[in-house]
Amino acid sequence: MRIKYNRDKIEELLKDFSILTRISVTFADIDTNPICSFQNTDDFCNAYQKICANKEYCMKSDKRLLERCRQSGNYEYHICHAGLYDAAMPIVKLGTTVGYIMVGRIKTNIKRKDAKYDFEGELGILYEQISVFNSMQISCLKNLLSNILFSNAIELENTNIAENIRDYIEENINSDLTAS
């Protein structure tokens, strides 16, 4: 099976989703390589990373989360060192994992003991602008992303020669035969 991504459609969906929810979102292929993303709450993260010099740590943390999701085949989440919720989930089509979606930079009632939550000044203002989701909203988010959002943006194509031959025969069984 070959996976065909409609990158323009995926990017459009990610952008619409991010604008609507104010959540950052990334779509990755089956090897967890990012295909496209829309970062709607990066103002806080960019400012936080400058102050704490943690950009590389954040990127590695996201990569580890995506890899955990790939290995488990299930929804995975963590609370980052700034106290924000990040999640990754497989996108499954016709029983085949076709990619992974990662959402993040969400405030929830789930807390991490070593995370800082009392940001001051501009950083505090940016932190307050981040979307807050309760557990029911996160569950709905998970359902929408894994089951609906990408249904028309990803296609599975047969690459098995036997399947291709069978498909050709089925499509042309009622056609006239010619010897050309």
H helix runs in 53-120, sequence order:
55-72
Question: Cβ(105)–Cβ(84) under 8 Å?
Answer: yes
Most confident of 60-74, 81-95, 112-126: 60-74
Q: What is the pTM of this model?
A: 0.77
Which residues have C-beta within 8 Å of that of residue 93, sequence separation ≥ 6? 150, 151, 154, 156
pLDDT tens-digit map of 9-34: 888 888 888 888 888 889 999 999 98
Q: What pLDDT sits at residue 154?
A: 78
Q: What pLDDT sits at residue 134?
A: 85
pLDDT tens-digit map of 162-178: 666 766 677 777 777 66
66: pLDDT strictly greater than 90: yes
Q: How many CB atoms lie within 10 A of CB 67?
A: 14
- What's the first-to-final CA gap in the chain, in angstroms? 31
Identify the CA nearest to 21 among candidates 110, 127, 145: 145
